[in-house]
């Protein structure tokens, strides 16, 4: 698989889920993508053949970052893995991780995708719930602006 095909398939996975949940897909780079809602974003960072996922929430003029890939991954069942192709190589591994992750979000965590915060109680009690922090990542300004814009279909 070449990079263009990888980028197309990655975008298709994330855009499909975004469209089903009134979110906006936004690619900052080929390795940093976001699903953006009103005052929150689900951030995907591809690095060294894996995907790190964070929930960003706007709060008091800052962006609070919740590392939540392990929290979401703890909900994965065989249903989320079904039909996912785990081919060889970096691109295939990342696509498979994205597909399993998005399947898990849709099957178990619709509240997150629809902008709810009910999941935070479970996150805070989970052994996979980490202390949220104000993020200073370079993407913050751009994503924060997009969080505040009206979604136009």
Whether residue 95 is predicted with pLDDT greater than 60 in this model: the reply is yes
And the tokens for 141?
Answer: 């300004």
The per-residue pLDDT for range 69-86, each reduced to its tens digit, is: 999 999 998 889 888 888
Which pLDDT band, with edges at 50, 70 and 90, does 151 fall under?
low
> What's phi and psi for 51, nearest 5 deg?
-120, 125
Alpha-carbon distance 92 to 95, whole Å? 5
And the tokens for 90?
Answer: 């970096």
Alpha-carbon distance 25 to 75, whole Å? 24
Q: What is the largest CA-CA distance in the chain?
A: 44
Task: Evaluate whether 46 touches 94 at the Cβ level (below 8 Å).
Answer: yes
pTM for the complete prediction?
0.91
The per-residue pLDDT for range 17-39, each reduced to its tens digit, is: 999 999 999 999 989 999 999 88
List strand residue ranges (DSSP E) for the chain, in order. 24-29, 32-37, 40-47, 50-59, 62-67, 133-134
Q: Whose structure tokens read 């469209």?
A: 19
């Amino acid at each position: 698989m070449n990079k263009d095909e990888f980028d197309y398939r990655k975008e298709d996975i994330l855009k499909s889920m975004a469209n089903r949940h009134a979110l906006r897909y936004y690619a900052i780079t080929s390795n940093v993508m976001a699903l953006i809602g009103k005052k929150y974003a689900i951030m995907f960072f591809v690095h060294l053949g894996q995907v790190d996922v964070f929930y960003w929430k706007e709060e008091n003029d800052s962006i609070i970052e919740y590392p939540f890939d392990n929290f979401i991954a703890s909900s994965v069942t065989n249903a989320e893995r079904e039909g996912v192709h785990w081919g060889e190589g970096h691109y295939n591994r990342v696509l498979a991780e994205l597909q399993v992750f998005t399947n898990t979000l849709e099957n178990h965590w619709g509240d997150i995708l629809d902008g709810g915060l009910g999941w935070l109680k479970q996150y805070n009690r989970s052994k996979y719930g980490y202390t949220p922090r104000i993020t200073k990542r370079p993407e913050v300004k751009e994503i924060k602006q997009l969080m505040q814009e009206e979604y136009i279909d």
